[in-house]
Each structure stands twice: as structure tokens, then as C-alpha cells.
Structure 1
Amino acid sequence: MAAKAEEIDVDGIAVRVTNRDKVYFPRLGAKGTKGRMIDYYLSVAGGPMLATLRDRPTHLQRFPDGIDGEEIYQKRVPRKHPDYLETCVVTFPSGRTADALKVTHPAAIIWAAQMGSVTLHPWPVRCPDTEHPDELRIDLDPQPGTGFAEARSVALDVLRPLLDELGLVGYVKTSGGRGIHVFLRIATDWDFIEVRRAGIALAREIERRAPEKVTTSWWKEERGKRIFIDFNQNARDRTMASAYSVRRTPIATVSMPLAWDELPDADPDDFTMATVPDLVKGRDDPWAGIDENAQSLEPLLEMVKADEERGLGDMPYPPNYPKMPGEPPRVQPSKKVAAHWDEKGNPVGKA
């Protein structure tokens, strides 16, 4: 039997929608259908969500049969797609390229939802310049034994004061899970390698100020009950959930932008696809003006130089990346044999 279809008007563009009654979030029952998710995205797509996604190449985290079904992480727009969609060429670490979704209109967001996309994952760049990030992203990722309260403490007590000292402005949001994301809008004068190194320097300084709360260790066995700052979120082709994206949680939480003074009382479970539309209507956009605040990366690059003078160079890339210049060996600490490594962490005879 063919899926029941309808067309909805999205700011002047007709978007075909099917299977509105399919349950995507089983715990929510009739309030967790594909149609409810599409209605949620309709409520935010034309305003604050489009502002955060505009002209960004965007990957889709799809669950066509609901969040308990198969997950498809789609980086390429299908060859057969509606004429109203635009695409943008991105280059992966392997050197291969792809035509990614370029969000230019609310209809692109609704099309993504129709395709079963629960979460949209934008690159930190704007098309057509996909080689120079305009965002530095800080991911405060709770490890086992920690949660949102610990991430919030790091954000408020350590990260924000440090940004103030550096003369930088961060924009905060819930991850939609237990974590916290802070985005810095930056000028497009630096490439992915420089932005990632700046993020590493920032993470290291946070760790120095709160070593009992924070870790930058790439290896899980070394993290302990601390907040991990995932510096590799600033590497090429690494993406984070967009502001206002729904997440794969039983209650359909949303990655919610906040003002800093809202963070102390925030509970990530309060922000869901059922509650966020009214919250957005009832307040000013806390990220308004972010695009007019393109900041210099120089304060963080000075920290990179200072770290290098301390003997602190690059850190490991994710395992699917090619070996990068200056990168330390990607060997899990527990698998190292001491006799095979020098005091600088290089394989003996392979400095």
C-alpha cells in the first residue's frame, strides 16, 4: 500500500509529506509521531533554526522507522531530490568530495524531517567557502559518573570566566542529552587545522584550571569521572547537532540555545519538541546577533604558541583520519610497551 501523502506549504514551497502517523518516539505514543516532529520543525524552521543553519553544509541523522530502528547518517543528498533543495560540495579528510545539503530555506529543514531526519548536523562553515570555519565549537561531554550538573559547573565556573579574560563571547546550548555545547563565532581567516589547535589550547587551559573536573584525554581509559572536552569536534567533517535539533532520546529532547543567565536553572529534559515552540514564542532569541560577532582567533593562537613552548604539541585525530603532520602516535596508553617509546612519546627510532 502506498504511503499516504500530502503537500504542505513551507514559506511558499510545497513539501511532500508521508506517514505522519508513524511513531518515531515510542515512549510518547501518539505525541511522538513523525507528523508531530514535522510540526515541531515547522514551528522553528523559519526563524531561529534557519538562522543557525543558513548556507551550512548539513548531514542528516535519519531514523526512518523511528529512534528504535536503523540509524542512517547521511552525508550526501540523493541524486533524485526536489528542485527546491540546494547542495554544497564538501571535502572529507580522505580527499573525497560530496554534495551535501545546503540549508537556504525552511523547506530544506522540513524535507529533512520528511526523510526521517531526527537531528541535523551542520558543518562549522558557510558555503561556498567550506575550507575556513566560522565557528569554534566546545563540546562539554559528561563521562560515566558525571552528568549535566557537572557540565554546567564547568561551563559557568571555568569556561565562561576564561572566555571573558580572553575577550571572547561564547553562545551556549544544551546538547539535547547530558552535555553542553558552546559556540564561538569567528572570522573566516583560519583553516580547520588552526581552528582545531585553538580549540585544543582552550581545552587544555580549562583542564589546567579544573583538573579534578575536566579532562582532554582522547583515551577513555584515562578520563575518569570528569567532563571530557572533545577537541576533535573542530576537525574537518566532524559535526554537532544544530541548535533546535531534536535528539534521539525517549522524550524527544531538543538542543536548546540559552542565555548564560538561564543556564544555572536549566534542565535539559525541559526542552522537548512539545515544549520548545511555546518557549521560543515567549522570549527573545538568546543567539540573536551571533552572526555580527565574528571574533579573532588570535588570543587562542597565542595560547597554542605558549603550549608549544611548554612542549605540548598536537593531540590525536579520530581513527578514520589520515596521519596528520605533528600528530602524536595513536596508541592507546594501556597498549604501549614502555621499552618501545622515548620520553617524548615517540616510537623508538621513529621520532
Structure 2
Amino acid sequence: MASKTPVELLSVGGREVRLTSGDKVYFPEPGITKREVVHYYLAVAEPLLRVLFERPTNLKRFPDGVDGEPFYGKRLPKGAPDYAETARVTFPSGRTAESLCPTEAAVLLWAANMGTFDFHPWPVRRADTDRPDELRIDLDPQPGTDFADARTVAAALHEVLDEAGLVGWPKTSGGRGVHVFARIRPEWDFIDVRHAVIAIARRVCDRLPDQATVAWWKEERGERVFLDYNQAARDRTVASAWSVRGRPRATVSMPLTWEQLPDVEPEDFDVRTVPGLLAERGDPHEGMDAAVGGIEVALDWYGVDQRERGLGELPYPPEYPKMPGEPTRVQPSRAKAPAEDVAPS
């Protein structure tokens, strides 16, 4: 009978964390094991904890590796160690949950040992989970476009954020897209922040109408990069910087400077390359918490769009309750009459 792989103990932040089944292959193509993934998170624990600190965080877990079926954990799992703290969040339905709220590095390794690849933090801190302190824009290439197109749109977004008085921080998504974050004062609710994102995204589309879109319905997007404004809605999250993505190459969502973005490809950053890059260059987003702005200008733009351009609210995701001022959620090609303007059951 074959002997089991012995349990290993990893030390971080004065705690010891168990690593079990370290030889289990998580990424068959490059032959990356669970041990490598957990040790990767040990190497990036310091900057990752800055990203996740005191944020309600969902865990995207791949217990059977990248070829298995993943699932999201939005609540603190049973059997969590006593140092795994929580924050209470409220979902669009009005239900609440106690979500993992990282406060120390050991919890990151504990989560990684449970098969967590991606950490998906809310854009809020535990002190006020109804008011975001982070504005996020997800640049999602549609069929016929790629990462190079997302970089082009990101450059225009950089200019618009500057005009809005916000400091943008780009990162690769780990796939074909680009994510851009900006710190904001936690003075506005999710609806206001989403409106600010819509206004900013519309100005990017004004500059690049053939390359960027905010069209919610896929049939209207064409071969353009979709600025996914609904990632700013309550309970919507994106993978954090430094997260391992569930892709065959074990790519990582890599934080970058604006100067670095034009010269990189998503495949440059994976479980094996990123620790060395961090050791060599440091954290490109280390100064993010000090660059805090407001969304007053963007909200003014949203008001101008309503008054002067006839542009207002956009559709929410289908699982949301019908929101004030929201247009129909009926797919344009299927819309026949105003009577069909109803929220999905």
C-alpha cells in the first residue's frame, strides 16, 4: 500500500499552516502541483494581504485542480481556523452572510491548501460593507478581440480617470482582459459608484467607438472590448491582484504600472515567474492605498449624460431585483412590446 504524502508545516506571520497532499497535480500542462501553488502564495503573501486586508473575500476553489469543477465560497467554510476572521455582507436579495475577511497572511495559505486559486474581494472594508472604497473597471475583450485591444482601451481609460481626478492602477486579469482599480473615499453607496463607472466607461467609448462598448447585450457588442460596469454592482467581484487563475498555464492576475502595460502579455505571469518578479521589482501597486480620490466629477458626468444626452441607467445582472430607472432586461432582438419590460423571475 502506497504511503500518503506527509503533512508539511509552513511558517508565516508567527503561525504554522498545514500543507496536505502537496504532490497532487493541479495544473497538468506545466506539471504544477498543489505544493507549488501554496508556496507561490507564501511568496506573495505580503502584497496579497495588502490587497485583501479587512475585505470580505470570496474563495474560488479548485479542489481537483484546474481540470476539475470549481466553486465559489461566499461564506466562511466550516472548520476554518480561529484566526480566520469574518465580515458581514448583504447580498442584493437582502440576505446576509459571514464572509472570510483576511487580516493576516496565515489565512491565505490555509485557503490555498483548501484548493483556492482565486481570491475575490469585495470593493469594501469591514468597517462599512455598504460603501465601496475601490472603483473597479473590467475590460473584457469580446470574440474577435484580444489582450492587445484591451491594452488600447486601457490607455484611453487611463486618460479619462486622470480627468476624473482618480489614480488608476492596472493589472492583467490572468486571461485576455485588463482590470483597472482606483481607491476612493468610502462616502458613496454601490449605486453611486456603479453610476460613476458607467459615466467613465461612456467617455472611453466616446473616444474609441469602434473599439470599446458598454452594451450589456452580447449581440450589440460586436468586436469591441466590453467595459463591464456591472462589476461595480453589489456582490460582484473580480479576481484580486496576485491571484492564480484557473487556466491551463497557471497564469496570475499581475499588478502593473501604466508604463509596463504596453509591453507585457498575460502569459508572462504565472505561478513560477511571479515570485521572482516580485523579489526583483517589488509591488507595482504598493502606493495604491495612499492615492485616494473621489467620484464627484464622474457623478457630474453621469448627470450631464442624463440631462443632455438622454443616457441614464443601464441593465443590471439578471439575478438582481428590478432597480429604479433601469431599462428593460429583454434581449433587443427579442423585444416586441413595452409589456415585455419585466424583470426576470
Q: Could you tell me the TM-score, scaled by structure 2's length? A: 0.95
2:338 corresponds in structure 1 to 341
After TM superposition, list the pairs within 5 Å mapping 1:75-114 onto structure 2.
75-114=74-113
RMSD: 1.5
2:126 corresponds in structure 1 to 127
User: Is the partner of 1:24 in helix, strand or coil?
Assistant: strand
Out of 22, 27, 35, the residue aligned to residue 29 of structure 2 is 27
Q: CA deviation at 1:153?
A: 0.8
Q: CA deviation at 1:28?
A: 1.3
Out of 180, 185, 188, the residue aligned to residue 187 of structure 1 is 185
After TM superposition, list the pairs within 5 Å mapping 1:276-295 onto structure 2.
276-295=274-293
Instruction: State whether residues 165 and 293 of structure 2, in contact with CA within 8 Å, keep that contact through their aligned partners in structure 1.
Output: no
Aligned AA (2:41): Y
User: Is the partner of 2:215 in helix, strand or coil?
Assistant: coil
Per-residue displacement from partner, 1:239-264 (whole Å, max 9, x unpaired)? Answer: 01000000011110100000110111
> In structure 2, how many angstroms separate the alpha carbons of the residues matched to 1:174 and 1:110?
23
After TM superposition, list the pairs within 5 Å mapping 1:140-289 onto structure 2.
140-156=139-155, 158-289=156-287
> In structure 1, how many angstroms separate the alpha carbons of the residues matched to 2:257 and 2:135?
18
> In structure 2, how many angstroms separate the alpha carbons of the residues matched to 1:112 and 1:80?
11
Q: CA deviation at 1:7?
A: 2.4
Q: Percent identity?
A: 58
User: Is the partner of 2:137 in helix, strand or coil?
Assistant: strand
Tell me, yes or no, if structure 1 residue 331 matches structure 2 residue 333.
no
Which aligned runs of 4 or more in structure 1 are off by greater than 6 angstroms? Answer: none
> In structure 2, how many angstroms separate the alpha carbons of the residues matched to 1:141 and 1:291?
25
Per-residue displacement from partner, 1:318-341 (whole Å, max 9, x unpaired)? Answer: 01111111111110001111xx23
User: Is the partner of 2:29 in helix, strand or coil?
Assistant: helix
Aligned AA (2:25): V
User: Is the partner of 2:203 in helix, strand or coil?
Assistant: helix
Instruction: State whether residues 210 and 224 of structure 2, in contact with CA within 8 Å, keep that contact through their aligned partners in structure 1.
Output: yes
Q: Please identify, of 160-169 and 178-187, the stretch whose mean Cα deviation from structure 2 is larger.
A: 160-169
Aligned AA (1:41): Y
> In structure 2, how many angstroms separate the alpha carbons of the residues matched to 1:194 and 1:230?
16
Q: CA deviation at 1:166?
A: 2.5
After TM superposition, list the pairs within 5 Å mapping 1:14-53 onto structure 2.
14-29=16-31, 32-45=32-45, 47-53=46-52
User: Is the partner of 1:250 in helix, strand or coil?
Assistant: coil
**Could you list the runs of 5+ residues in structure 1 that have no partner in the other structure?**
none
Aligned AA (1:6): E
Per-residue displacement from partner, 1:92-113 (whole Å, max 9, x unpaired)? Answer: 1111111111010111111110
Aligned AA (1:341): P
Per-residue displacement from partner, 1:16-56 (whole Å, max 9, x unpaired)? Answer: 22111111101012xx11100000000001x2111111101
Instruction: State whether residues 41 and 109 of structure 2, in contact with CA within 8 Å, keep that contact through their aligned partners in structure 1.
Output: yes
> In structure 1, how many angstroms separate the alpha carbons of the residues matched to 2:191 and 2:106?
33
> In structure 2, how many angstroms separate the alpha carbons of the residues matched to 1:234 and 1:193?
8
**Could you list the runs of 5+ residues in structure 2 that have no partner in the other structure?**
none
User: Is the partner of 1:73 in helix, strand or coil?
Assistant: strand
Q: Could you tell me the TM-score, scaled by structure 1's length? A: 0.94
Query: Would you say how many aligned residue pairs link Structure 1 and Structure 2?
Result: 339
Out of 278, 297, 304, the residue aligned to residue 306 of structure 1 is 304
